[in-house]
Amino acid sequence: MTFTTDRRSLLKGGATLAGLSLAGPGFAQSDRVASLLAKMTPAEKAGQLSCFSDQIRPIGVPFNPNLPTGGATAQLERVRTGAIGMLFNGVGYAGARKAQQAAVEGTRLKIPLIFAGDVIHGLRTAYPLPIAEACAFDTDLAERTARAAALESTALGIHWTFAPMVDVARDQRWGRVAEGSGEDPYLGTRLAVARVHGFQGNDLRDPTRVAACAKHFAAYGAVSGGMDYNATEISPATLREVHLAPFQACVDGGVATLMSAFNDIDGVPASGNHWLMSDLLRGEWRFKGMVVGDYTADEELIAHGFAADGRDAAKKAFMAGMDMAMQSDLYNRWLPDLVEKGEVPVARLDEAVTRVLRLKEAVGLFDNPYRSVSQRAERTSVSTKSMLALSREAGARSIVLLKNDGNLLPLKDNPGRVALIGPFGEDRANVVGTWAFMSDAALNVSIAQGLRNRKLAFTSVKGSEVEAPIPGGIEAAVAAARAADVVLLAIGETQDMSGEAQSRTEIVVPAAQMALAEAVAAVGKPVVVLLRHGRALALSGAVKAAPAILATWFLGSESGNSIADVLFGDVNPSAKLSASFPHASGQQPYFYNHKSTGRPAPDQGDQAYKARYRETKNEALYPFGHGLSYTSFTIGDVAVPATMTDRIEISATVTNTGTRRGDEVVQLYIRDRVASRTRPVRELKGFERVTLAPGATKTLRFTLNRTDLRFWGDRDWVVEPGEFDVWVATSSTGGERKTFTLA
């Protein structure tokens, strides 16, 4: 069977995802699938639609609730009965071989298993958290780390990753902001498409490629109050413009699968939402891939109060469009009965099974069930030097220089006496971030190790625990600061303070660490804050006042080396915030592309009765798109045509006005001044990363098409003539405002 690659120009700028498209006409009807289907019993069909956490080669970390305890023997037996179509989150050649043998030799029809896993930002080799990597504004980097993760996954017996997570999140209290690409749908969409291509490549039969899974469909990032699993209350326009945008781009680009979400959307749970998973996904977007439910999301329809019992939940999830059930076993238990009683049409059952079998065929499992199950690959393609080098590069490109008063950074190679203070100085247990259970902790490089790798002499004092004081800790830290010429203050969150089920009410540095920071700052030596965090934080006190602040997120295996590379200037920081740092924790949700309101607070002048808080204006301490460099750049000669019909070209120059070579991320923002629906005060519509030597200038050209100016009207996308503001800037608050008129 030949597979055509499906090229579609996704976004302006022709960013295309050349990927095998299950969504497009290029996917020929398969005789093998049709003939298999004809032989299958309803029970065998239900088995292909059922997946479970791998007990045969378990990760051994309780990362999901009620993780099954059936054990390998029981699960192997279930594989042999054909009750399992996929296993997830098992790793390693030997267990994969054993499980696959049970499927292809033990079952009646010898249908192979497909193995999946949560390879969200790397497997054994961990790359930066997606929210951190998004700060690089670098689609090529995102594709490269996804590609490397696919290489390692297929060397460890995984064919399908439950990534990219493409949920746009605007409330940093939500722990899963860590897994996404930040607050902006345009940036999120560009990176989602790049990651899908990195995972899938141009042909899924390539044994080093994995099927991707855009998740969580949909609007999981809109949970009310930032509380995980909560209901969402969003308008159709926000749903379309913000939360669905990355999914639609992935579908258009040929993503193989989607995963349905836990949350409800205005009262209808996503995992039981026929409009979402059928009318929109199949009818409007023409998606032909497969939808897997999130972990027991079908069964949770009962707790939602949307289904009466397991049978009802299975019927509602399945008929809404969830093809495969994860962990609940409800499809095995109820689909044959529902079909026999005529409550589920055979055609719907066959449709779902066809999608699963096509996925297995697309990945090449019918030709070679032991694809990606290779002892040799496990030895040669895991945590390779190039993967570790990529992790280190990606980490350094994800670090945001928030502040650098007096050009304190970069440190000189001989910076004098250095004190490394804080609970994350020597720490190796919190460098990967959430979804760390798949990574090889032995690879983790602490900040201290990164400094030692540079042969730097320094004093290291923990000073406090993450959320508790250490008796005598502050005194020891103060003494170390007194004896130092510069202090590196390594503070922030542990990796389990973000991620799934880790929403926080206060997005702040824990109090024990703030006390440490205040005492150390009072000594009066220059302090460089090395912030560790899985979300944007509200900074205050001595942390906010420090002369230099590096937002280092969770950078993955090579974290300490990446941080040292930026600290000492081997890498000139160029990252820009993918999520706004608010002035206060209570300012959530906060996002740069907010509405104006009828009473926007002016920059200067009377603030009474304006859209603001008593304590702070409706703005960020460090906004989306912000990030400094060790050099400086200016934007000039911004040329914007006065009028636009189908498209316009906007040009500008960017000049390196400093003394170091560096990268700048030039961003294009618009504002639709007057429209039939209120529009955001700014919307990102383009970005370009440029590398310039000192004194060099480059002319950039951005193209805006009419479709880039669309918004969701009453029932469809609309573009309305009128005046648009446009900025070519280096952050979401910068740039000189220009205007054009759309005819």
Site for ligand GLC in 672-711 (CB under 6 A): none
Q: Binding string, 623-652, against ligand GLC, x = CB under 6 A?
A: ------------------------------
Position 228 contacts ligand GLC (CB under 6 A)? no
Cβ closest to ligand GLC, residue 163 vs residue 420: 163
Q: How far is the CB of 194 from ligand GLC (least distance, A)?
A: 20
Structure tokens at 599: 């009473």
The rounded distance, in Å, linking the Cα atoms of 612 and 618 is 5
Cβ closest to ligand GLC, residue 427 vs residue 500: 500
- Specify the pairing of strand 633-639 against strand 264-265: unpaired
Q: How far is the CB of 162 from ligand GLC (least distance, A)?
A: 4
Position 64 contacts ligand GLC (CB under 6 A)? yes
Q: Which residues contact 300 (CB under 8 A, 6 or more apart)?
A: 262, 269, 271, 313
Cβ closest to ligand GLC, residue 88 vs residue 331: 88
Task: Work out whether the CA dihedral 61, 67, 70, 73 comes out positive or negative.
Answer: negative
Q: Report whether 120 contacts 211 (CB < 8 A).
A: no
* One of 300, 500, 558, 664 touching ligand GLC (CB under 6 A): 500
Cβ closest to ligand GLC, residue 119 vs residue 349: 119
- Specify the pairing of strand 548-551 against strand 527-532: parallel
Q: Report whether 681 contacts 594 (CB < 8 A).
A: yes
Q: Binding string, 76-115, against ligand GLC, x = CB under 6 A?
A: ------------xx--------------------------
Cβ closest to ligand GLC, residue 161 vs residue 631: 161
Q: How far is the CB of 301 from ligand GLC (least distance, A)?
A: 15
**Residue 575, amino acid:** A
Query: Which is catalytic among the residues 294, 312, 672, 708?
Result: 294
> How far is residue 81 from each of residues 67, 85, 299, 361, 437, measured CA to CA in Å?
21, 11, 23, 21, 30
Q: Binding string, 124-163, against ligand GLC, x = CB under 6 A?
A: --------------------------------------x-
Q: How far is the CB of 716 from ligand GLC (least distance, A)?
A: 31
The rounded distance, in Å, linking the Cα atoms of 361 and 214 is 20
Position 294 contacts ligand GLC (CB under 6 A)? yes
The rounded distance, in Å, linking the Cα atoms of 142 and 529 is 27
Q: How far is the CB of 212 from ligand GLC (least distance, A)?
A: 12
One DSSP character per residue, 136-205 reads G--HHHHHHHHHHHHHHHHHTT--EE---B------TTSGGGGGS--S-HHHHHHHHHHHHHHHHTT-TT
Position 118 contacts ligand GLC (CB under 6 A)? yes
* One of 97, 190, 209, 215 touching ligand GLC (CB under 6 A): 215
Q: How far is the CB of 264 from ligand GLC (least distance, A)?
A: 15
Q: How far is the CB of 262 from ligand GLC (least distance, A)?
A: 7
Q: Report whether 527 contacts 548 (CB < 8 A).
A: yes
Cβ closest to ligand GLC, residue 215 vs residue 504: 215
One DSSP character per residue, 594-649 reads -B--SSBPPSSS--TTSBB-SS-BSSEEE-TT--B-SS-EEEEEEE--SEESSEEE
Q: How far is the CB of 668 from ligand GLC (least distance, A)?
A: 32
Decide if 294 is catalytic. Answer: yes
Structure tokens at 33: 């699938």
Sheet holding 114-117, edge to edge: 160-161, 114-117, 86-88, 50-53, 324-326, 290-295, 257-260, 213-217
Cβ closest to ligand GLC, residue 62 vs residue 342: 62
Cβ closest to ligand GLC, residue 21 vs residue 89: 89
Position 299 contacts ligand GLC (CB under 6 A)? no
Under the rule (CB under 6 A), what is the footprint of ligand GLC?
A: 64, 88-89, 118, 162, 215, 294-295, 500
Catalytic residue set = 294
